[in-house]
Amino acid sequence: MNETGKKILIVDDEQDVVRWLSILFRENGYHTEWAYDGREGFEKAEASPPDLITLDVSMPRESGIKMYGNLLKSEVTADIPVIMVTVASPKLEEFLGRLKTKKAPAGFFEKPIDKDELLKKVRELIG
Amino acid sequence: MKTDARSAAPRRLMDIVHAALFEEIPFNVAVIDRDYNIAAANSSFTDRFGDWQGKKCYEVYKKLHQPCDECPSVQVFETGKTIVADAVGIDQHGKPTHYVGHVAPLRLTEDGPVDYVLEMTRTVTGTRSWQQEYQILFDRVPCYITVIDKDYRIVRANEAFRHSFGDVLNRYCYEVYKRRKSKCPNCPAARTFRDSKVHNSNQVGTDRRGHDVHYQVTTSPLARTGDQVGHVIEISTDVTAVRKLERDVVEVERLAAVGQTVAGLAHSIKNILMGLEGGKYIVSLGLKKGDEEMVNEGWEMVERNFAKTTTLVKDFLSFSKGRLPQLQMVNPATLVNEIVDLYKDITARSGITLRSEIAEHVRRAPLDPDGIHTCLTNLVSNAIDACQMGEQKGSEVVIRVHEKGEKLVFEVADNGCGIDYEIKQKVFTTFFTTKGGEGTGLGLLTTRKIVQEHGGKIVLESEKGQGAHFRMEFPRKRLMTLWREGHGKQSSQTKQVRS
């Protein structure tokens, strides 16, 4: 697989998900970085902006909802495309409700994901 | 020898007294002959009804042109006996005036016929207005009001009551309210008759169609202070609709809980499926590349998520099945020591100090050892996680057992990351977890369930960053009751209750 030179930040509290997505993206020519909660994810995104972020919603310490809000507020991270990868839950509905006046994420994928569809979306967004 | 005061007084004096009485007495006084003519009247009467000279009583009292239908004076002329009567007349200004009074016979000769009647009336227009207002209040108030006598017969009932129950006067209240043939065993009115106090109770009656009606009943004595209660006023509110709403709310909450449980279960399963999917992908990729290390990594992921499935199912079943505690007389200290043995290696590896504090004189207690083991395991496991998340040096988990009054108390305290207010509200909620995929969200819920099955309660004290302190309190009286009820005697048998 050709190197794309693009970096994806995976933010999820489940190590297995992080590991799987990390291998999946790496095998398809992307560099990866990861974080296990929203706070750590935002810090990493701001310190070294990735080309794309996959973001879970329900996480300890700081949720994906909070992190998405922080990403939009920061000039450094506001334009990074975000793909939500999460279990459909009341939290997700709450999240969608809050987005009415804000910029919506670039994509939504419900766990368990279809890896081919996810890769297709990633390529569509960052090549 | 007895002296008659009237006869002893000079006749002149008595005349003066009579004249003064006639004039000054605070009543409207009129003397009427057999032809309805007013022969005499005092100034109070004149002030009320106006000029009466040469007029008939019905003309003056009621501004009529013929005698009243039920004339009390005629009655007194006929019977020769004093009567009390009330009536509504028209005063000299044309306004209705309510009055009550005595109508007494007057004879010019001691044994002769009744020549005149003496009408002494008092205007009660104000009092009548009040009575009418109270009557309206009594009738229109949106609840049932009855007055019952000592035989439990209804002697008065308001409009609402009459509307719902029909003509009930002189019927027994238990017959009307509950279609019973004898007094109710928990009658609040009986208590009020006995102690002259107000009592409140909830009662279930039967309406005319035989349907259950729920009442909130207040009984109050109808007597002046110090008098024996002759009647009780019974005020009942039909709360059937409220009870139905309460039942509906419980049903809605139950359905919401079912929904929440299903959603939580689906959430956990989806996460596990994601892990299995990931493991499958990595194994497959490893095989394709001939990378044994990758195959192993993927396979471990599959195994890990398979184990999560087992844990989830086990926890879920443990939580969902209604189970009576299988009580045995055990030493609480032994249970604590078992947990310390179980976790001492894990905590040592993580640099966490695990210790127990067992108070002296902790007595044996009837407990379900497996249940308490599960509770302590859940709490200690959470405490270890909290210490690891707290990332502070000198982490410590302490398990305590002691007696507090009549309660046996287990405590698990840590100095880990603590729990903030928002999370504290959710820790006993189905499938709530702060551990991501590592937790099933059922541990604390199961713990609380086991504690409650023992008749106890679990309390959490924690502030974010200040550690957490879980306390399980078991009232010994309740434990002994459960023990006596025979749960302990059949400890070898698993008893299930339908949930």
User: Is the pLDDT higher at B179 or at B223?
Assistant: B179
Pairing state between β B116-123 and B212-222? unpaired
> Of B277, B434, B436, which is closest to A112 when you measure between CB atoms?
B277
- Chain B contact probe: residue of A1, A18, A20, A56 with most B CBs at under 10 A: A20
- Residue A60's SS3 state is coil
Residue of B271, B297, B417 best to disrupt the A interface, most CBs of A under 10 A:
B271
Distance from CA of B448 to the nearest CA of A (A): 22
Percentage with pLDDT > 90 across chain B: 37
CB B413 within 8 A of CB B398: yes
The residue of chain B nearest to residue A62, with distances taken between CA atoms, is: B434
Which residues of chain A lie closer than 8 angstroms to B263, CB-CB?
Answer: 89-90
Q: How far is CA B232 from the centre of its chain?
A: 22
Higher pLDDT, A31 or B468: A31
- Compare all CA atoms of chain A with the CA of B433 and give the residue at the minimum distance: A60
Statement: residue B315 has pLDDT above 80: no
Q: With contacts defined as CB-CB under 8 Å, which chain A residues touch B436?
A: 13-14, 36, 58-60
ipTM: 0.85
**CA–CA distance, B291 with B285 (Å, rounded to integer):** 8
Cis peptide, bond prior to residue A50, ω within 30 of zero:
no
Contact call for residues B196 and B172 (beta carbons, < 8 A):
no
Nearest alpha carbon to residue B121 among B191, B61, B202, B176: B61
Of the partner residues B267, B274, B297, the one whose CB lies closest to the CB of residue A17: B274
In the stretch 386-445 of chain B, residues with CB closer than 8 A to chain A read 389, 434-437
B274 and chain A in contact, CB less than 8 A = yes
Lowest mean pLDDT among B110-119, B187-196, B321-330: B321-330
| Average pLDDT over chain B, rounded to an integer | 84
Phi, psi of A36, rounded to the nearest 5 degrees: -105, 0
Which one is predicted more confidently, B489 or B178? B178
Q: pLDDT (tens digit, 9 = 90+) per residue, B210-249?
A: 788 888 999 999 876 566 788 999 999 988 888 888 888 8
**pLDDT tens for residues B57-82?**
999 999 999 998 889 999 999 999 99
A93 touching B (Cβ < 8 Å):
no
B257-281 as b/e: b if 16+ CB within 10 A: eeeebebbbebbbbbbbbbbbbbbb
Strand order in the sheet with B231-238: B154-157, B144-149, B231-238, B212-222, B199-206
* Nearest neighbour of A23 by CB, restricted to B271, B276, B282: B282
How long is chain B?
499
pLDDT per residue of chain A (127 residues) written in tens, 0 to 9:
678 889 999 999 888 999 999 999 999 999 999 999 899 999 999 999 999 999 998 787 788 888 998 999 999 999 999 999 887 655 565 666 666 556 888 988 888 899 999 999 999 999 8
Instruction: For residue B282, give the chain A residue with the closest CA.
Output: A20
A10 vs B contacts (CB less than 8 Å): none
Tokens 């106890």 belong to residue: B456
Architecture of domain A7-122: 3-Layer(aba) Sandwich (3.40)
The two three-digit tokens of residue B279, written as one number: 């493991």
Quick one: DSSP state of residue A68? H
Question: Which residue type occupies B358?
Answer: I
Q: How far is B417 from chain A (nearest CA, A)?
A: 10
From the list A21, A60, A110, which residue is nearest B436 (CB)?
A60
CB contact under 8 A, B279 and A16: yes
Q: Contacts of residue B270 in chain A, CB cutoff 8 Å? A: 87, 110-112
CA A75 – CA B391 distance, rounded (Å): 31
Angle between helix axes A64-73 and A90-98 (nearest 10 degrees) is: 20
Contact A64, A56 (CB under 8 A): yes
SS3 of chain B: the string is CCCCHHHHCCHHHHHHHHHHHHHHCCCEEEEEECCCEEEEECHHHHHHHCCCCCCEHHHHHHCCCCCCCCCHHHHHHHHCCCEEEEEEEECCCCCEEEEEEEEEEECCCCCCCCCEEEEEEEECHHHHHHHHHHHHHHHHCCCEEEEEECCCEEEEECHHHHHHHCCCCCCEHHHHHHCCCCCCCCCHHHHHHHHCCCEEEEEEEECCCCCEEEEEEEEEEECCCCCCCCEEEEEEEECHHHHHHHHHHHHHHHHHHHHHHHHHHHHHHHHHHHHHHHHHHHHHHHHHHCCHHHHHHHHHHHHHHHHHHHHHHHHHHHHHCCECCCCEEECHHHHHHHHHHHHHHHHHHCCCEEEEEECCCCCCEEECHHHHHHHHHHHHHHHHHHHHHHCCCCCEEEEEEEEECCEEEEEEEECCCCCCHHHHCCCCCCCCCCCHHHCCCCHHHHHHHHHHHCCCEEEEEECCCCCEEEEEEEEHHHHHHHHHHHHCCCCCCCCECCC
Chain A residue numbers with beta carbons less than 8 Å from the beta carbon of B301 are 16, 19-20
Find the mean pLDDT for residues B314-335.
Answer: 80
pLDDT classification of B105: cutoffs 50, 70, 90: very high
Res A1: pLDDT? 61
Q: Where are the domains of chain A?
A: 7-122
Maximum pairwise Cα distance, chain A: 40
Chain A nearest C-alpha distance from B191 (Å): 53
